[in-house]
Chain A
């Protein structure tokens, strides 16, 4: 069974750093792109970027380029989303999701990680 299990909710202060994770299981982790999606409170879905764990090829939405870093550790089948200096506006639910092979949609989603940034 394909599963994407994300790390737990985080409460951070502005200026702090953070790295959240997404662990894949039940499939060949290195053979599928993993993407990240932001959903701010009461708002819609925003595509942030995507990584191919096999070779760490990474693509970013222009809106998120330079604001976050997407990475992966294929040895432990885990993808990451990280911030070096959080802002209150980073408060959101973040989902990881697996790209369907050869297609441009997500077929499996993680449960989401809620990040709250508040002083």
Chain B
């Protein structure tokens, strides 16, 4: 079955840049999406179609793609960015099944 792999944790100091990666064999053929989830809340989309930012999401959130890896970058990290981040994509085999990465806990030191 299709899998997306993320690092379990990333730590940065306030004002620094955080980069969270997501790897998957189908990523060259399928877009990736990123969600932020804070404790006790439903996930919120922060990046769609690899690098597009929904309205209302701060400019410090950006996304990029290279081969089988996509990256969520948070520039000038703020304390409020501490959360779990999940990548998500779709199976490219035509079965219309989606998958989430295992999630990355971003800690702001």
Point out residues on A near B: beta carbons under 8 Å.
Answer: 35, 37, 44-47, 50, 59-63, 95, 97, 100, 103-107, 109-112
Question: Is A35 touching B98 in the complex (CB atoms < 8 A)?
Answer: yes
Point out residues on B near A: beta carbons under 8 Å.
Answer: 1, 30-31, 33, 35, 37, 42-45, 48-49, 54, 84, 86, 88-90, 95-103
Do A105 and B42 contact each other (CB < 8 Å), given the known contacts A45-B35, A46-B100, A47-B99? no
Do A109 and B48 contact each other (CB < 8 Å), given the known contacts A44-B86, A45-B86, A45-B103? no
Question: Is B42 touching A111 in the complex (CB atoms < 8 A)?
Answer: yes
Question: Is B45 touching A105 in the complex (CB atoms < 8 A)?
Answer: yes
CB distance from B49 to the nearest CB of A (A): 7
Q: Which residues of B contact A63 (CB under 8 A)?
A: 1
| B40 to chain A: closest residue by CB | A112
Contacts between chains A and B (CB distance < 8 A), count: 63
Q: List 20 A-B contacts (CB under 8 A).
A: A37-B43, A44-B84, A44-B100, A44-B103, A45-B35, A45-B43, A46-B100, A47-B88, A59-B96, A59-B97, A60-B97, A61-B97, A61-B98, A62-B1, A95-B42, A103-B49, A104-B89, A106-B45, A107-B45, A111-B42
Q: Which residues of A contact B89 (CB under 8 A)?
A: 104
| Best-surrounded residue of A46, A60, A61, A106 (most CB of chain B within 10 A) | A106
Question: Is A104 touching B30 in the complex (CB atoms < 8 A)?
Answer: yes
